[in-house]
Amino acid sequence: MTTLFRLLQIVRVAVRYRLDQLLPAAQLPWWLRPPVLLCRCFPAPALNRGQRLRKTCEDLGPIFVKFGQLLSTRPDLVAPDIITELDHLQDNVPPFANDTFRNIVETALGDEVDTLFASFERQPLASASVAQVHAATLHDGREVVVKAIRPGIEAIIDQDVKLLLLLARLASRYSVDGRRLRPVEVVQDYHRTIVDELDLQREAANASQLRRNFQHSPLLYVPEIHWDYTRPTVLVMERIYGIPITHIDRLKSQHTDMKLLAERGVEIFFTQVFTHNFFHADMHPGNIFVSTRHPQRPQYIAVDMAIVGSLTRADQYYLARNLLAMFRRDYRQVAELHVQCGWVPADTRVNDLEAAIRSVCEPIFEKPLKEISFGQVMITLFQTARRFNMEVQPQLVLLQKTLLNIEGLGRQLYPDLDLWTTAHPYLERWLQDRFHPGSLWRELKRYGPEWLEKFPEVPHLIFEALEARGGAGARQVQSPPQSMRPTAAAGRRGIALAAFAGAALLAWLQGGADLQSVPAAAWVLVGVGASAWLLR
């Protein structure tokens, strides 16, 4: 299929759903206005704009379906009515031929399917945008699923992404709304996401990590990866049996504790984000099941770990403090935290940001807590901050979309779920644990070797800093006493850092990285005390 032919297909579908009505005609270049005016000769479907975009993605095939799904994860950029429709996009893609699937598996694994597996089902279990899944049985009797990438999908992706980039650049150049929504950035983000999804070995590694994080946990079960049968284009994992999370009637018929199920979903989310710092970022209902083993102590089962997320330590800390400040309606602290963590420019007027946040959030908090959407409050918070030039934080966008999925799912399972009450004590405990002596000691053990490696450089760096500060002070202020003040302060800070590094060094050498060692613990306390005194 040539690029020109594909472009004509896109134009035909766009005209059918009259996407021209979504464009600001007055802002278009002169050479685009005639074809847009010509589109008005065609009848407009009785659909809203979100439905038109959804239908367009469905008609244009799996790549555009996937792009629509990505757009649905960007509530910071896309209007709510459009997101509602794009959330309905499903991967109802016709399966490709069984012989083709077998050839992909045999080429990747270097043997015939009948030799690799004791049995192999010809009919697929599922067929999605970029992959297809069949059931099979290993020779030791274990049931598995075999997942393979669609043939030729890379070429289709490259072609469609080029066209999407062309449309995005046009929108960005000729539309004010287009520039605000950053379509080029969205398409580039989509390209990275879908390329990652084409690497099944990467997905398998994500699943393996998530399984290890929840090993023996009553909250979440992740199927086992069979690495001997896994390649970049083929993945083989344990087959699971559970009830799809959306089958509420089946869950109730086995007397599942729905309240506990909803609360455990929230606990899983916060455990992934704050304890493990590794979260499943594609937790839509199609990827979540519930085990049938213990209905009164329900356990989730997660599949399809192609998209995962993580936060920096700074983002973890500031996010937790932001959420707790929101719980307390301490808008001043929320504004200050946005500046401190660099989410808004350093010269932002804290008073103005505080007032904007208060004006948006106060009407929300007048409702009963169980009626307030936790995820929507986060979105509102970030949207408000964007008025103060807050940069888009991709990791936080992914997080808030996951939170919206979890919250919506939890309230579908148990409508009276109060996510605020469930989350509040968890965040309080996490902040306390973060500064517990045991946690600090684990950090010391983790980064101790790196600090030891750099410790010999500390005296040299201190003297360099003293000379630089002293020279600058002498040039800027002729009075010797004034020029010496920053030098003295810098010296105290440098010596304090050296004292703490020395304490860490001695603790490591004498204690052998063992918290039970009295000399090690003593030296750490000495170092901390010296640092505190010198930094007065």
Residue of 87, 282, 304, 315 with catalytic role: 282
Look at residue 501 and tell me whether its pLDDT is greater than 60. Answer: no
Phi, psi of 237 (to 5 degrees): -140, 165
**For residues 377 and 361, is the Cβ–Cβ distance under 8 A?**
yes
Residues 6+ apart with CB under 8 A from 271: 219
The pLDDT assigned to 515 comes to 44
Residue pLDDT, tens place only, 156-176: 788 888 887 887 887 777 665
DSSP 477: -
**For residues 244 and 302, is the Cβ–Cβ distance under 8 A?**
no
* Res. 476 pLDDT band, cuts 50 70 90: very low
257 tagged catalytic = no
Quickly list H helices, 455-479.
Answer: 458-476
Buried b (16+ CB within 10 A) or exposed e, 472-493: ebeeeeeeeeebbebbeebbee
Residue pLDDT, tens place only, 140-159: 999 999 999 988 888 878 88
* Res. 525 pLDDT band, cuts 50 70 90: very low
Strands 220-221 and 300-302: parallel
Asked whether the CA dihedral 57, 62, 63, 68 is positive or negative, the reply is positive
Look at residue 528 and tell me whether its pLDDT is greater than 50. Answer: no
Across the range 225-246, mean pLDDT stands at 94
Across the range 343-369, mean pLDDT stands at 83
* Res. 485 pLDDT band, cuts 50 70 90: very low
From CA 156, how far away is CA 110, in angstroms rounded? 26
pLDDT > 90 fraction of the chain, expressed in percent and rounded: 25
Least confident of 112-121, 360-369, 445-454: 445-454
**For residues 222 and 214, is the Cβ–Cβ distance under 8 A?**
yes
The pLDDT assigned to 58 comes to 81
Strands 308-309 and 279-280: antiparallel
Question: Which of 84-93, 191-200, 206-215 has maximum average pLDDT?
Answer: 206-215
The pLDDT assigned to 1 comes to 53
Residue pLDDT, tens place only, 268-304: 988 999 889 999 988 777 789 999 999 999 999 999 9
Beta-carbon-side half-sphere exposure of residue 507 (alpha carbons within 13 Å)? 28
Question: Which of 76-80, 204-208, 271-275, 395-399 has maximum average pLDDT?
Answer: 204-208
